[in-house]
Structure 1
Amino acid sequence: MKKTSKGLFACCIAKRRFALIVPFMICSTYTVARQQQSTKPNVIVIVSDDAGYADFGCYGGKEIPTPNIDAIAKSGVRFTDAYVSASVCAPSRAGLLTGRYQQRFGFEHNTSTQVSKGYTLADVGMDLKEQTIGNEMQANGYRTIAIGKWHQGDEPQHFPLNRGFDEFYGFTGGHRDFFGYKTKPARENVLYDNREAVAESKVTYLTDMLTDRATHFIEENQKKPFFMYLAFNAVHTPMNARKDLMARYAHIPDSGRRAYAAMMTSLDDNVGKLLNRLKQLELDKNTLIVFINDNGGATNNASDNGLLRGMKGSKWEGGIRVAMMMKWPGQISTGLVYHQPVSALDILPTAIASAKGKPKGTLPLDGVNLIPYLKTGNKKEPHQALFWRRGVAAAMRTGNWKLIRVQDKDTQQVLLFDLKKDLSETNNLANIYPAQVKKMLYRIQDWEKGLDTPHWGSSYGGKNQIMKHRMETKGRAMERLYP
């Protein structure tokens, strides 16, 4: 059958159109792919509370399975020498949230009513001049939420919605019951959904509720970049465990340890729920996740710090070295184990860099972007030194050297350890290496020149810090005498 001239003309036009459409389709597909590749990653920071260093499977724990938390390390990097900037809850979180040593703005102690001269109770909380990680991520186009424990001040000006977070679901104090209160809770224990108090009759089990709110936020914001600060209060006291999980650990004879194991399992199950929801929504490959514990295991929750000496509240490794891991598919190699010292201070600059942004705040950061240091072949150290101070006790780590300085009126106690040879800090080398002691004491003093005076004092005073850092103070029972 012969084609007419009209048919031939139509056929020719169709071919030309197809020739024009195909490159356009290819170009459009490429553009979409490029846009998808350049989309800012979501960032989620998960914080656990008072967990033991050795209670995570990926850090050697055998008694309590933590497969979901371990999966973060397996899919990315596990830090063996990760530190927080304080060994107690509130100042540790202030450092994480600002990327700056919290002593620079007077947040040296847990919040208390013992205000320093020149300050009032309204000043007890994170200094208003400081930019939080929420502020920074908002400035880079992110929707932000803080979930769980805040502990950065109870006054309205310190409320998360006034400190860089678009949404808040949690409580402002340092701890609260995991189940609902039978009577009206204290202000710092109220569970808030943004600015509205949640009825205690609706509180089922807090660890589950925090995760439900987290997954709901992810679902609502899946088409735009979001930042989440998910600060679980597990496994901080009170030791409120679900009965079904307590039964799972009936073989553990100590009831405190049994409750702790059940609460750790709740924490891990909920981390798994969060990770699964990200995967279901196909967001997992474009999400940077950091998991970190806020300080060492506490003396009152049956946690286990393993080989690390000391617990929460001290400058021993068991007080300041924590479990920390990070994953970001395509940017961080899987199964990586990193041994250089890193800090919770690094989380903020790492998050900003992942968003290809720049810090909004004008104050200098103490943390660094960790991503370049995790690249193959980069042998540089993220930090030449790390510092700690809370009241009369201060510490410093540089290389493998760790120094603790305790000021007792007119006398000064100095402890020096080689962490490579003595991880458990059993052998004080101060008298053997006086030159090293002198050098490190000078560096601590130089660092202290950039600090503000504490805006409030500690409820426990300085004596406990003096007693806690004596070489003869060993073990949970003795440390518990000096909270």
Structure 2
Amino acid sequence: MIYRFTCYSILTLVNILFRFGIPVFGQQHPNVIVILSDDGGYDDFGCYGGKEVYTPNIDALAKNGVRFQSAYASASVCAPSRAGLLSGRYQQRFGFEHNISKRPTAGVAPEDIGMDPQVATIADFMKYNGYKTVAIGKWHQGDGPQFNPLKRGFEHFYGFIGGDRPYFPIHGAVKPTQLLYDDRRIVPEDSIHYLTETLTNKAIAYIQQYRSQPFFMYLAFNAVHTPVEAPLKTIDKYKDVADPLRRAYLAMLDNMDENIGRLIEHLKQEGLYENTLIIFMNDNGAATNNGADNGQLRGLKGSKWEGGIRVPLIMQWPAKLPKGITSNAMVSGMDILPTSIDAIKGKKIQGQQIDGISLLSSYKDVKNGHDYLFWRRGIARAVRHKEWKLIVVKDDPILLFNLRDDLREQHNLAAKYPEHVKEMLHKLTEWEKGLENPKWLSSVLDNDQNQLMKHRMDVVGRAAERQYP
């Protein structure tokens, strides 16, 4: 007997194939996962030269994809860096210049401190193009209800609103910004094992839930931000490290890498690995207080030295990208939004400015990267153009470095190349004309003094740098 397929039976077959991650009617749209680590040291990731910690899964992303060697965060501290990533533009364009604080500037109400609701996020763009959108982990874009991820384009949010929280369950009262949410429901503290693992478990659950349709996931680990709380099962691996802070930090980084491996393994099990674009990035340079190491890069989190803004950035997409590529193109966290839209061949939301460029083309040639990148936080400003880097901090002497010859930023060439100083100052001034005044100030009351001190040429060495957070 000849079996006659009905429309219903065809649809049933299609649904079954989708359920098992099998492409139907040609190539499916790719999934996109952005993984963000917090306050990691540039030299602590194996593929960037790290020797003390075991990061095989992050290293495998680089081995199987593209590793950028001149990648930058749009800010040297957590919240504005994330705002740049989420918006695809310089966060100063909408007044997001400092970490979230309770110090509004003139004309700004305290409840309005956060990422401008009129600015579309990467989730808004992906949702606009038919994607399921999930945010997991640290948010840090404003405490008020209008800034909640569920109001910013994400259909799901499993994480906490603030900038930090403990990794183990909190006993007693929990600060509102540290509460762990599952969408609108507060997650009981006693259900948290170790937060990095708990966040990964939820990420895996969402991958399983949306395996038959394209999804975008923003997985923002709070590891390896303070408090430095190592998972007990991992810390013994680093018992030979003398410094207890460094030992615990390495264990935390190791654990995050292990959980990234679990996530990738699940993608493979679901048949989603080949057609998932994974972008891994660190949000800024090594912190002054968590035991991280920037290696040869000068400076730490909060500074305009390379150690404050240059970050690991890796892109892997087995179905589309070559393996083992090292790119010297100058790129930014702002590029993640346009890269995601490019990958899905999506449409942009009209009226939303984007400063980023697609990494899918920029990795191929240094000429395809940014020509200029700019930074500003309070009295400290910087600009990079090709091999040149300029730092300007209020009335301190102007600093100019040739990063091609002097990546450690040891030799100030401002007096020798006044024409470069003049040109780059002009570009910086022109860029600033398109910015809004900061809507709030830093919560660090002596931030300006710290900025002045940390950018002095005679502040040399990690011990000296850590004096000025």
Using the size of structure 2 for normalisation, the TM-score is 0.94
- Matches of 1:426 and 1:361, distance apart in 2: 45
- Matches of 1:116 and 1:95, distance apart in 2: 20
- Matches of 1:472 and 1:125, distance apart in 2: 36
In the alignment, structure 2 segments of 5+ residues that lack a partner are 3-12
Residue 35 of structure 1 deviates from its aligned partner by 4.7
Residue 424 of structure 1 deviates from its aligned partner by 0.3
Which among 458, 463, 466 is matched to residue 477 of structure 1? 463
Residue 379 of structure 1 deviates from its aligned partner by 5.5
Q: Which residue of 1 aligns with 2:387?
A: 400
Q: Which SS does the other structure have where 1:342 is aligned?
A: strand
Residue 459 of structure 1 deviates from its aligned partner by 1.8
CA contact (8 A) 2:68 2:363 kept: no
Q: Which residue of 2 aligns with 1:268?
A: 257
**Count of aligned positions:** 453
In the alignment, is residue 87 of structure 1 matched against residue 76 of structure 2? yes
- Matches of 2:150 and 2:186, distance apart in 1: 14
Deviation track 1:335-364 (CA, whole Å, cap 9, x = no partner) reads 000011100000000001111112114122
Q: Which residue of 1 aligns with 2:371?
A: 384
Q: Which residue of 1 aligns with 2:454?
A: 468
Residue 269 of structure 1 deviates from its aligned partner by 0.4
CA contact (8 A) 1:314 1:469 kept: yes
Residue 374 of structure 1 deviates from its aligned partner by 3.3
Q: Which residue of 1 aligns with 2:8?
A: none
Which among 222, 227, 248 is matched to residue 216 of structure 2? 227
CA contact (8 A) 1:332 1:374 kept: no
- Matches of 1:361 and 1:53, distance apart in 2: 36
Paired AA for residue 329 in structure 1: P
- Equivalent positions of 1:25-424 (< 5 A) are 35=24, 37-375=26-364, 378=365, 380-407=367-394, 411-424=395-408
Paired AA for residue 252 in structure 1: V
Deviation track 1:241-273 (CA, whole Å, cap 9, x = no partner) reads 112211121111110011001101110000000
CA contact (8 A) 1:131 1:361 kept: no
Paired AA for residue 51 in structure 2: K
CA contact (8 A) 2:396 2:452 kept: no
Which among 430, 450, 454 is matched to residue 414 of structure 2? 430
In the alignment, is residue 444 of structure 1 matched against residue 431 of structure 2? no
CA contact (8 A) 1:81 1:339 kept: yes
Task: Give the superposed CA RMSD.
Answer: 1.8
Q: Which residue of 2 aligns with 1:455?
A: 439
Residue 186 of structure 1 deviates from its aligned partner by 0.6
Q: Which SS does the other structure have where 1:403 is aligned?
A: strand
Residue 332 of structure 1 deviates from its aligned partner by 1.2
- Matches of 2:101 and 2:167, distance apart in 1: 23
Residue 67 of structure 1 deviates from its aligned partner by 0.1
- Matches of 1:47 and 1:121, distance apart in 2: 28
- Matches of 2:58 and 2:393, distance apart in 1: 36
Q: Which residue of 2 aligns with 1:8?
A: none
In the alignment, structure 1 segments of 5+ residues that lack a partner are 1-13, 18-27
- Matches of 1:379 and 1:324, distance apart in 2: 15
Residue 37 of structure 1 deviates from its aligned partner by 3.8
CA contact (8 A) 2:329 2:363 kept: no
Q: Which residue of 2 aligns with 1:4?
A: none
Residue 163 of structure 1 deviates from its aligned partner by 0.4
- Matches of 1:333 and 1:361, distance apart in 2: 32
CA contact (8 A) 2:327 2:366 kept: no
Residue 57 of structure 1 deviates from its aligned partner by 0.6
- Matches of 2:23 and 2:127, distance apart in 1: 24
Paired AA for residue 405 in structure 1: V
CA contact (8 A) 1:112 1:124 kept: yes
Q: Which SS does the other structure have where 1:136 is aligned?
A: helix
Deviation track 1:66-125 (CA, whole Å, cap 9, x = no partner) reads 000111111100001100000000000000000000000000000101100000111111
CA contact (8 A) 1:77 1:336 kept: yes
Higher gyration radius (CA): 1
Give the fraction of aligned pairs with identical amino acids, expressed as a percent: 54
CA contact (8 A) 2:73 2:309 kept: yes
Residue 36 of structure 1 deviates from its aligned partner by 5.1
- Matches of 2:210 and 2:274, distance apart in 1: 16
- Matches of 1:383 and 1:261, distance apart in 2: 33
